[in-house]
Amino acid sequence: MKRLVLLNICFLLVFCACNSEGDSKNKVILAKGGKVYGGVFKLSMPSKPSSLFPYSSISYYEQQLSSQIYETLFTTDSTQKSVGNIAEKHELLDGGRTFRIHLKKNIFFHNEGGNLQSKDVFFSLAFLCSSLKENNYSYLFIDKIKGAKSFYEKSKTSPFDPNSFEGAKIINDFVIDVYLTFPFSQFSQLLSHPNVVILSYEDYKNNNARFFKNPLGTGPFILEKITEEKTVITRNGNYWKYDEYGNKLPFLDAVEAYCAVNERDWFQSGKLDMIQNISSEKLNSLFGNLDDAISGKNQPHRLFQLKNKNLNFLVYNTIFPPFDNKTNRQRVHSSINTLTLCENVLDGDGEPTKNFFVPIYYYRSLNSAVQEINAVEETWGNTLKAGDKINFFVNKNTSELGLKWVNELILQIQANAGISINLIKGSNEDFERMWKKGEIHIAKYGWAAD
């Protein structure tokens, strides 16, 4: 098995034997179709996951791990068509205003957590429509599910009570109806969002304290531990899926995600099977050049390059000055030459967006996005003056290419708008805290296609 590496706008896949001497987890067992069971897959991540609670997590890296622990009702195939996952199928009733979900049977939560049933779907939807601080995804549902807005507002002042949720009704143990405020043809795609997973209601009731750190899932792997050094997930022996040969999934014994390690040394010594988000200019320094490969000095690896769509964009804090002022936002916007950014930073491998964009197209209605933009444009405040300073936030784990994009952007704003910029680097938690206090005025955000 060869090693696996991931690039910034490409996936670099390199596999090597997932084994280490003396580790009982790495004993391999032959399976049908020439496949084998066993092995530990090791990858690197920029930092320790701050949360694997799926309704709180917003990080791509956290999502990589949580998607192996928890599962969605639906998923999308290669053509973006919605297909059942832990849901067997769905029906549209009442002119599309009732979304009936039929669950697959014999799917069980980890650690003998019981059979997944309609009560778990009901609870999960209620949680996702609440204003609980652990929920970052209410915006997906509160305008689409009947009664969700009032439930959201009520949960601000009253204890969370899923039983008072009126947006769904349990028909039987494996059938549940969801009531929509309007016919929404892409609701099944909405339920395929990687963070919109189904959690156990019994686990919530019986293990409330632990629940928000490590709730039970139904996925192929179980969370074993999170330390400063690494996060370990291990094989779920009671998983429900099989491959095309009839082999019970998953094949791996475990996945280990290491935090903030020397990726080059670890990869070259065989301690890592995958590296992520590497800029193309760093390939030779990490894996050697052609001469190194001919002389056998580099680690054997296989490289797969998959083009994908991604966007870089700015977000303005319109709640606080100075960007509660439309003129200030326009001043910064007009100082940026997006074509030059694409040419200088991306070497022409990209193009500027025109007007505005809504990347989460079936997660959010276009009308609501336009209404939000129009609402923001109506606010006013004090006008920025030459020499004024604004705080620009960027995540501390931003890639080298992303930082190059930010530095070019800052140079343009300072030169063309006459505004001084203070660059702040921090974690997702730092961003949330500082944004709410108005300590951050502008930030780099990104979106990548799933």
pLDDT one-digit tens code per residue, 31-83: 999 999 999 999 988 888 888 899 998 788 888 899 999 999 999 887 778 89
pLDDT at res. 83: 93
Q: How far is CA 132 from CA 19, 138, 154, 198, in A?
A: 42, 9, 11, 17
pLDDT at res. 9: 31
Of the candidates 258, 285, 260, 294, which has an alpha carbon nearest to the alpha carbon of residue 274? 258
Q: Which has more confidence, 277 or 247?
A: 247
310-448 placed in CATH 3.40.50.410: no
Q: Which has more confidence, 438 or 207?
A: 438
pTM for this prediction: 0.73
The ranges assigned to domains in the chain are: 4-48+227-294, 74-211, 310-448
- Find the mean pLDDT for residues 5-21: 40
Question: Is 270 buried (19+), middle (13-18) or exposed (0-12) by CB count in 10 A?
Answer: middle
CATH for 4-48+227-294, options being 3.55.50, 1.10.3470, 3.40.600, 3.40.190 = 3.40.190
- Find the mean pLDDT for residues 292-319: 72
Q: Which has more confidence, 92 or 360?
A: 92
Domains 4-48+227-294 and 74-211 share a fold: no
* Backbone phi, psi, residue 317, to 5°: -85, 95
- Whether the per-residue pLDDT at 300 is higher than 70: the answer is no
pLDDT at res. 120: 98
Q: Per-residue pLDDT tens for 109-119? A: 998 889 999 99
- Whether the per-residue pLDDT at 342 is higher than 90: the answer is no
Q: Which has more confidence, 50 or 178?
A: 178
Q: At the topology level of CATH, where does 74-211 sit?
A: Dipeptide-binding Protein; domain 1 (3.90.76)
Q: How far is CA 377 from CA 327, 356, 388, in A?
A: 9, 13, 22
pLDDT at res. 307: 60
Question: Is 73 buried (19+), middle (13-18) or exposed (0-12) by CB count in 10 A?
Answer: buried
- Supply the DSSP symbol for 234: E
Q: Which has more confidence, 261 or 156?
A: 156
The token duo for 27 is 């004993």
